[in-house]
Structure formats: C-alpha cells, structure tokens
Amino acid sequence: MVDIVLSDALTSRAEAVRRFGRRDSLFRAMTALAALLVVAVFAGVITSLTIGAMPAIHKFGWNFLTSEVWDPVQEEFGALASIYGTLLTSALAMLIAVPVGIGIAIFLTEICPRPLRRPIGIAIELLAGIPSIIYGIWGLFTFAPAFQQTAEPWLIDLFGNVPVLQDYLGGAPYGIGIFTAGLILSIMVLPFISAVTRDVFETVPPMLKEAAYGLGCTTWEVMWRVVLPFARTGVVGGAMLALGRALGETMAVTFVIGNAHNIQKSVFAPGTTISATIANEFTEAVGDLYLSSLIEMGLILFFITFVVLACAQMMLRSLERRAGG
Amino acid sequence: MIVHSGLYRRRRAGNAMFLTLSVFAAIFGIVWLTAILGSLFYNGFSAISPKLFEEMTPPPGSDGGLLNAIFGSVVMSAIAVAIGTPVGLMAGTYLAEYGRHGWGSFFVRFINDILLSAPSIVIGLFIYEIVVVNTPTTHRVCQAILGSWCPIGHFSGIAGALALTVIVIPVVVRTTENMLLLVPNGLREAAAALGAPRSRVIRAVTWKAARAGIITGALLAIARISGETAPLLFTAFNNQFWSTDLNGPIANLPYVIFQFAMSPYEDWHHLAWAGALLITAAVLGLSIAARILERSNRS
C-alpha cells in the first residue's frame, strides 16, 4: 500500500517536472520568436521596399540619384532635388540645434539655480515627445507668415549686395521654403539634443571637474577642456540620433517646404525633401512607375537614416560600456 | 598674487562671454518652445467646443466636429497597443532574461534601436507594400482564409493599425528591457532557489517587480503613436464620414489635421488647431503619467 502511494507520488512528481520543463521551453521559444519578429520586420521593410522600387530601379538605374527631373506626365523621375532638400534642411537644423542644444545643457548643469533644474529639465523632455505635426501646423500658420513679413525681407536686403551670399540668401520672401523647414526641424530636435547632452554631462565624474577647478580653471575652461572632451562620444552620438530624426521627419517639413522639385541656390526658395515628396504625392500617384519611384525614394531615405542611426548607436553603446565599467 | 594680470582678465572675460552665450541659448530654446505651445493653446482653445465630440468632419464651409476622426484614432491606437505590447514585452523579456549577453541579442537590440528612430513614413510604405497593394496571389490566398475580412488590396483601418503596431513594438521592447534589467538578481535567485522554473520566475517575480516600468513603456508607446501622421497617410487613408468598418478607409485625427491645415478654408483651419490641441493634450498627459509611474517604480 505504502509502496503504491510512494510510486504514485514519484511519477506525478516526475510528471510535474516534465510539465514545467515543457512550459519553460515553450515560454522561452515564444520570447525568442518575438525577438526574431523585430528582426523580421526590419528585413521585411528592406525587402518589400526593394521589390516595390524594382520597376524604377530597372528604368532609371543610377540616374535616379543624379537627375533633378521630376515629371509625372512624361514619367521621368529623379530624386536629386528631394535628396538635396533632405540633406540641406537637416544640415541647417543641425547647424542651429547642436550649439544651442549644448548651450542649454551647459546652462542646465552649471548655471541654472538648483531648484529650477528639475522643472526645466522635465519640461524639455516633455517637449521632446510633442508630435511633429504640431510643429508643422505652427510653422505653416504662425511662423511662416510672421517670418515672411519681418525677418526674411530684412535678411534678403541685408545680403542683397554681398557678392556671393546674395545668391544663397536672396530671392523673394515666400515665408515657406528650405530655410523655414530647417529652422522648424532644429526647434523640433532641440529638446532631444539637450536632453541627451545633459545626461552625458552628468556622467562626467565630479572628481575630474573638481581637479580642474582646483587648478584654477574657469567654468568655461572646465566645460571646454574637461567636460566636453570626456562627453564627446555621447554628445556626437546624441547629435547623430537627432540627425536621424531630422532626416526622416515628415510632417514638420511637409507643411512648410513648398514642394518644389527643383534645386535653387537660395535657401529661402521652396524645395522638397524625400519624406515631403512621398507624403504629398503618394496617394495621388497614378502609374506603376510613379509609385515605384516614390518607393525607391523611401528606400534611399531608409538607407541614409540607417547609416546615421547605426553610427549614433555605435557611439552611444561604447559610452554605455564605459559608464558600466 | 598676480591675479590682475592681463591673462587672468582675459580668461575671466572669456568665461563670462561663454556663460552668457549659453544663457542666451537656453532663452532662445525656451522662447521658441513656449511660442509654439502658446500659439497652440491660443488657437486651439478658441476652437474647442462640445461639437468637436458630437459631430463629424464637415465639408468646407459648414459646421462640424472631429468625432469620426477621434474614434478612428482611438480604435487604431488601441489595436496597435493590444498587439504591439505583448510582442514587445516578450521580445524585451528575451533580451533581458535569456539572451542578456548573447551575440544574437546584441543584433536584435541594434535592429530594435534602429527601428525605434527609423522614419515613420518608411514604416507606412512597408505596410502599404504588404497590405494595401493588390497583388493577385496574396489577395486570393487571403480571401480564401479571411473571406470578406481580407484587408489586402485597399486602404483600411487594419492597415493603419498594423503600421502603428510596427512603431509600438520597438518602444515597448526598449522600455521593457531597461526596466527588467533594473530588477535585482537576488529576487530571481530567491525564486529559483524555491524551485520555480525559469518561466515562472519571470512571470511571477520579474514582471511583477517591473510592472510599473512595463506600463510606462506602453504609455510612452501610446503617446508616440497618437501623433503619428506619416504612417497613416497611405494605410488608413481618411474617411469623411462616420465609419466603424476597420476593413475600409477610416478617419483619424492626424490625417484630418494635415488635410484641413493644408486647405484654404478658414473653418477647417480652426478644426485643425482644435485637433492639434487634443493630440498635444493627450501626448503630454500620457508622458506625465508615464513619468510618475516610472518614478514610483525606481524608488
């Protein structure tokens, strides 16, 4: 009798252990599958865009990248104007946002009175989450008309007689255009850059700063010679991350870029970017070649942002390793 | 001491100059950002009325609200979160628990962070290519399985929700992994010492300890997608009328804002501002809730 009960218990125990084991591996397999799904989505994006872009790739080849022609009627497409606009608006955005963002981070870590640091820091982080369409609608309704009437004519007049600059900063004040798009992008990525930079500044060991102060350095010298060199990787990584955002940004740009498919010297002229072209024209595109060309532009955009974001990650990862010790 | 030498004065002056510059940088940034919020609240509040939540999007020149667009946005976001959160949670769990130092996890982490910042318009193109485009073979297979529910071949709320799902997943993966890594190993070891199998440890101990953080991730993901416009342009498209049919084009706030703001009609502009204010309020509310939760989790 006793024997039977015992063996019963033993078999049911073995049974339970096996059951646990099965559930365990099932759970593990499910998590692994979910992780693989992330990779599958990424691979799917590249594959589906490449397939969608095939007709345009066959038809135009490398010329697609170097041609400025965008003629839906004749079905002649080239992405140069859009690529140019994407790169130029993002460059303008970085030119403004990086120094200002670092300035804000210095302000927050060194100058700002202590009780204000947290609220301002939180406000900046919250602003980083505001959807880009808000920046777009503000740019279109509030900024562009004001800019057209005040600063833009003034700038054009100011540089009107300067030999080289008059080409780049001339023309008619439209309000919308490459410059406006770049400026709005810079405002959009500003919270992003300052938040990352501030976080990186805070990882600088206080000992380093104190040692420099002890040698008699001024605050500026400590920032420039100690903090910035120490935090360089992180700051560049954060800026690249912001650049990735700016390059792919759609709505903030589409509202204010003007959607003009040609390259003009003046930054005040209307232009277009890859994302703005796709957003504006995709649903109205008739004909396979037109659609395919837009998809190829999407593929180009994905490639550009991939390179930028991958660099950003390498830098931020190496930083994490260092911080982790 | 020779503190009043020229060099010393130059250094003092340089210091004062650069510190002033950084104060100006801060003012510059804060002025722009308050200008945006200010004009959003100014224009948005004057356009807010109960009608927004009672009436449909109007044709130009007549009165109306945003009810159909709000409904569409809420439904698509809900579906995206309902699918994206479990997937993201599982993938984040794999990265933090099973493959913490593995080579494969490193790769997944890398891809995930790329997807996290990838241009959302490209995600829209991706879903367009696999769902909206009408390819005869996939269409036939899909129709055989799903019948009239087959979403392939046309714009639909389902396609929009899928595009948003692709955006939700990386956000949830990232926050889940970060939050699980904060759970002390002692907890896992204690549970394992009691004889709990690994999956049990994860579900009953680790997830529970990181619960607030995981919810934070979901909230951040909702905040992220509630303003996303680009991926919806050619997936969910738009619908001027009330529609609950997820298998057809469905109205959504971001698209309506885009369309109305770009139009030449004054009353459409007002509605666009009102919609923008609604979205911003939702996003700010969600991020603040997420922040409060996160802090309660860390302490």
Query: Scanning every residue of chain A, which has its alpha carbon at the shortest distance from the alpha carbon of B264?
Result: A141
What span, in angstroms and rounded, lies between the C-alpha atoms of B267 and B244?
Answer: 26
What span, in angstroms and rounded, lies between the C-alpha atoms of B272 and B229?
Answer: 13
Q: Nearest CA to CA, how far is A283 from chain B (Å)?
A: 6
Decide: A240 and A311 in contact? Cβ < 8 Å: yes
pLDDT for B190: 93
**Does residue A108 register a pLDDT over 70?**
yes
- The count of other CB atoms within 10 Å of the CB of residue B27 is 13
Q: Which residues contact A241 (CB under 8 A, 6 or more apart)?
A: A192, A196, A309, A312, A316, B117
- Identify the DSSP state of A284: G
The ipTM is: 0.87
Query: Are B26 and A310 within 8 A, CB to CB?
Result: no
- The count of other CB atoms within 10 Å of the CB of residue A12 is 10
What number is the average pLDDT over the span A307-312?
Answer: 91
Which residues of chain B does A249 touch, with a Cβ-Cβ cutoff of 8 Å?
A: 119
Query: Scanning every residue of chain A, which has its alpha carbon at the shortest distance from the alpha carbon of B221?
Result: A129
**Quick one: tokens of B99?**
């493959």
Output the CA torsion B7→B12→B17→B19 (10° steps).
Answer: 140
Query: Are A133 and B87 within 8 A, CB to CB?
Result: no
Query: Are A279 and B121 within 8 A, CB to CB?
Result: yes
Which residues of chain A does B15 touch, with a Cβ-Cβ cutoff of 8 Å?
A: 218-221
Which residues of chain A does B291 touch, with a Cβ-Cβ cutoff of 8 Å?
A: 122
What span, in angstroms and rounded, lies between the C-alpha atoms of A111 and B109?
Answer: 37
What span, in angstroms and rounded, lies between the C-alpha atoms of A133 and B69?
Answer: 15
Query: Are B29 and A101 within 8 A, CB to CB?
Result: yes
The minimal CB distance from A138 to the residues B39, B94, B122 is found for B39
Q: How confident is the model at residue A325 (pLDDT cuts 50, 70, 90)?
A: very low
The minimal CB distance from B261 to the residues A21, A102, A255 is found for A255
How big is chain A, counted in residues? 325
- Identify the DSSP state of A76: E
pLDDT for A57: 87
Query: Are B25 and A102 within 8 A, CB to CB?
Result: yes
Q: Which of A110-114, A309-313, B53-57 has the highest mean pLDDT?
A: A309-313
**pLDDT tens digits, A136-168:** 888 888 888 888 887 877 777 777 777 777 667
Q: Nearest CA to CA, how far is B72 from chain A (Å)?
A: 18
Which residues of chain A does B269 touch, with a Cβ-Cβ cutoff of 8 Å?
A: 141
Which residues of chain A does B233 touch, with a Cβ-Cβ cutoff of 8 Å?
A: 279, 282-283
Which residues of chain B does A36 touch, with a Cβ-Cβ cutoff of 8 Å?
A: 108
> With left for phi above 0 and alpha for psi between -120 and 50, is residue A127 left, alpha or beta?
alpha
Which residues of chain A does B169 touch, with a Cβ-Cβ cutoff of 8 Å?
A: 37-38, 41
- Identify the DSSP state of A71: E
Query: Are B40 and A134 within 8 A, CB to CB?
Result: yes
Query: Are A52 and B125 within 8 A, CB to CB?
Result: yes
What span, in angstroms and rounded, lies between the C-alpha atoms of B248 and B156?
Answer: 4
Q: Nearest CA to CA, how far is B171 from chain A (Å)?
A: 11
Query: Are A31 and B93 within 8 A, CB to CB?
Result: yes
Query: Are A278 and B125 within 8 A, CB to CB?
Result: yes
The minimal CB distance from A305 to the residues B111, B119, B269 is found for B119
Q: How confident is the model at residue A2 (pLDDT cuts 50, 70, 90)?
A: low
For chains A and B, what is the number of CB pairs under 8 angstroms? 268
Query: Are A275 and B24 within 8 A, CB to CB?
Result: no
Which residues of chain A does B87 touch, with a Cβ-Cβ cutoff of 8 Å?
A: 34, 37
The minimal CB distance from B227 to the residues A100, A110, A131 is found for A131
Q: Nearest CA to CA, how far is A149 from chain B (Å)?
A: 17
Q: Which residue has the tokens 């020149």?
A: B61
What is the SS3 assignment for chain B?
A: CCCCCHHHHHHHHHHHHHHHHHHHHHHHHHHHHHHHHHHHHHHHHHHCCHHHHCCCCCCCCCCCCCHHHHHHHHHHHHHHHHHHHHHHHHHHHHHHHHCCCCHHHHHHHHHHHHHHHCCHHHHHHHHHHHHHCCCHHHHHHHHHHHHHHCCCCCCCHHHHHHHHHHHHHHHHHHHHHHHHHHCCHHHHHHHHHCCCCHHHHHHHHHHHHCHHHHHHHHHHHHHHHHCCCHHHHCCCCCCCCCCCCCCCCCCCHHHHHHHHHHCCCHHHHHHHHHHHHHHHHHHHHHHHHHHHHHHHHHC
Q: Nearest CA to CA, how far is A79 from chain B (Å)?
A: 16
Most A-contacting residue of B20, B83, B100, B122 (CB-CB within 10 A), to test interface: B122
The minimal CB distance from B22 to the residues A106, A130, A136 is found for A106
Per-residue pLDDT of chain B in tens (299 residues, 90 and over written 9): 555 678 888 888 888 888 888 888 888 888 887 888 888 888 888 878 887 787 788 887 777 888 888 888 999 999 999 999 999 999 999 999 998 888 888 899 999 999 998 999 999 999 998 888 877 777 777 777 777 777 777 788 888 999 999 999 999 999 999 889 888 999 999 999 998 888 989 999 999 988 888 888 888 899 889 888 888 888 888 887 787 777 888 888 888 888 888 888 888 888 888 888 989 988 888 888 888 887 776 65
Q: Nearest CA to CA, how far is A294 from chain B (Å)?
A: 9
